[in-house]
């Protein structure tokens, strides 16, 4: 690899890895400016979720996850990545500049590479398999390495309290017609390559149902059950609540998810108590950690294979699509 990693072609491979990251509503709110030996990661705020995520908090977390994937791909290519977060104070949308140099030592992050393509957001019930304490500890360490914190919700009473907040959050979101309209807008046919991909034929009906009916109670009951039964339930948070903290949270999220995949786990999100302002403080009080909850996740062993969610073509995430030429 030494000698080839500084080409533009190598950089494009790293972007390909970045695009596999999870993102809220599968918005893929990122854009990459690619040079030989350098990738600039920009927030694409045209893909923001104004109702669900008014401060672009989850947008920045999603970009942080993509940034972590770039780091993993660089490690896998045998190079050492250097990341400058928010390198230009005049450009708040420029989230990170990544450069790299060939290295004789392989970073342990290279081991996470295989998991990039097999990680899934797994929304079904998990098997009843217990997750070993050592694995849960590895997840916490993964988050902490990236500057976030992780609280494992263990006691039955706390778990019920969190699941009650999730159900309440679902109800408060679904009652809001503008929140439902925004969700419906991101229900796209799979071939579009973004959004919550559905078969072509299902899109109009699904959009109509979501726009028209408040099914928050039913969603809440379902999420409550998933929360109560989760083999592992965690809250990921940060000490601050600004863009730099969100970018760190995204990197922590992706390190945690990929670490989980290596141990046979997948994850899904129960974020409504973080997204609804009035519930976030209650969640914070419940988990009793200094700072700000950013994400609520359940993890476990999946009981079935789920197909990958679609992604946009590479040229759509490049600042300068001619970079592909």
Ligand X SMILES: Cc1cc2nc3c(=O)[nH]c(=O)nc-3n(C[C@H](O)[C@H](O)[C@H](O)COP(=O)(O)O)c2cc1C
Regarding 26 and contact with ligand X (CB under 6 A), the answer is yes
Edge-to-edge strands, sheet with 94-102: 30-35, 38-43, 94-102, 79-85
Contact status, residue 253 vs residue 247, Cβ threshold 8 Å = no
Smallest gap, in angstroms, from Cβ of residue 176 to ligand X? 15
As a 3-state breakdown, the chain gives helix, strand, coil percent values, each rounded to 5, of: 50, 20, 35
Smallest gap, in angstroms, from Cβ of residue 255 to ligand X? 13
Q: Given candidates 5, 17, 19, 23, which one binds ligand X under the rule CB under 6 A?
A: 23
Regarding 271 and contact with ligand X (CB under 6 A), the answer is yes
x/- mask, ligand X, residues 111-140, rule CB under 6 A, reads ---------xx-x-----------------
Strand 232-238 versus strand 149-152 pairing type? antiparallel
Burial letters for 11-50: b for 16+ Cβ neighbours within 10 Å, e otherwise? bbbbbbbbbbbbbbbbbbbbbbbbeebebbbbbbeebbbe
Q: Given candidates 220, 269, 273, 286, which one binds ligand X under the rule CB under 6 A?
A: 269
Given the complex with ligand X, which of 62 and 163 has the nearer CB atom? 62
Smallest gap, in angstroms, from Cβ of residue 308 to ligand X? 6
Total of chain residues touching ligand X, rule CB under 6 A: 16
| Residue 286, token pair as written in the block | 């419940």
Regarding 267 and contact with ligand X (CB under 6 A), the answer is no
Rounded Cα distance between 44 and 21, Å, is 15
Pick the stretch among 70-78, 103-111, 171-179, 268-276 that binds ligand X (CB under 6 A): 268-276
Smallest gap, in angstroms, from Cβ of residue 47 to ligand X? 13
Regarding 24 and contact with ligand X (CB under 6 A), the answer is yes
Strand 292-300 versus strand 232-238 pairing type? antiparallel
Q: Where are the beta strands (DSSP E) in 251-316?
A: 266-269, 292-300
Smallest gap, in angstroms, from Cβ of residue 185 to ligand X? 14
DSSP-derived 3-state class of residue 92: coil
Backbone angles phi, psi at 203, to 5 degrees: -60, -50
Residue least distant from ligand X (Cβ): 22
Given the complex with ligand X, which of 251 and 309 has the nearer CB atom? 309
Regarding 49 and contact with ligand X (CB under 6 A), the answer is no
Regarding 190 and contact with ligand X (CB under 6 A), the answer is no
Regarding 43 and contact with ligand X (CB under 6 A), the answer is no
Q: Which of 21, 28, 53 is nearest to 294 (CA)?
A: 53
Rounded Cα distance between 188 and 200, Å, is 8
| Residue 147, token pair as written in the block | 């500057």
x/- mask, ligand X, residues 302-321, rule CB under 6 A, reads -------x------------
Regarding 22 and contact with ligand X (CB under 6 A), the answer is yes
Rounded Cα distance between 96 and 106, Å, is 23
Q: Given candidates 62, 69, 79, 207, which one binds ligand X under the rule CB under 6 A?
A: 62
Pick the stretch among 24-32, 43-51, 80-88, 95-103 that binds ligand X (CB under 6 A): 24-32
Q: From residue 23, give the alpha-carbon distance in Å to each of 38, 74, 249.
A: 23, 21, 13
Regarding 222 and contact with ligand X (CB under 6 A), the answer is no
Q: Given candidates 268, 297, 302, 323, which one binds ligand X under the rule CB under 6 A?
A: 268
DSSP-derived 3-state class of residue 244: helix
Interacting residue ranges for ligand X, rule: CB under 6 A: 22-26, 58, 61-62, 65, 120-121, 123, 268-269, 271, 309
């Amino acid at each position: 690899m030494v000698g080839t990693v500084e080409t533009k072609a190598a950089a494009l491979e790293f972007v390909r890895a970045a695009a596999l990251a999870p993102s809220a509503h599968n918005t893929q709110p990122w854009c990459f400016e690619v040079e030989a030996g350098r990738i600039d990661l920009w927030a694409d705020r045209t893909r923001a979720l104004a109702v669900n995520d008014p401060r672009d908090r989850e947008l920045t977390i999603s970009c942080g996850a993509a940034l972590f994937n770039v780091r993993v791909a660089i490690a896998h290519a045998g190079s050492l990545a250097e990341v400058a977060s928010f390198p230009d104070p005049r450009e708040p949308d420029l989230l990170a500049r990544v450069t790299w140099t060939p290295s004789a030592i392989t970073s342990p992050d290279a081991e996470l590479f295989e998991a990039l393509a097999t990680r899934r957001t797994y929304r079904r019930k998990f098997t009843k398999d217990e997750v070993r304490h050592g694995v849960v500890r590895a997840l916490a360490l993964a988050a902490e390495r990236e500057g976030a914190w992780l609280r494992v919700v263990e006691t039955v009473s706390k778990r019920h309290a969190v699941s009650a907040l999730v159900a309440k959050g679902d109800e408060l979101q679904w009652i809001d017609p503008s929140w439902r309209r925004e969700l419906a807008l991101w229900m796209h046919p799979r071939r579009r390559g973004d959004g919550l991909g559905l078969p072509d034929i299902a899109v109009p009906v699904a959009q109509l149902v979501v726009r028209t009916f408040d099914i928050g109670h039913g969603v809440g009951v379902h999420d409550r059950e998933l929360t109560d039964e989760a083999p592992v339930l965690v809250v990921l948070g940060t000490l601050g609540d600004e863009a730099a903290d969100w970018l760190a949270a995204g990197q922590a999220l992706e390190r945690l998810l990929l670490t989980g995949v290596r141990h046979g786990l997948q994850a899904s999100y129960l974020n409504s108590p973080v997204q609804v302002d009035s519930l976030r403080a209650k969640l914070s009080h419940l988990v009793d950690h200094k700072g700000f909850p950013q994400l609520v996740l359940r993890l476990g062993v999946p009981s079935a294979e789920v197909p990958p969610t679609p992604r946009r073509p590479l040229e759509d995430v490049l600042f300068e699509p001619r970079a592909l030429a």
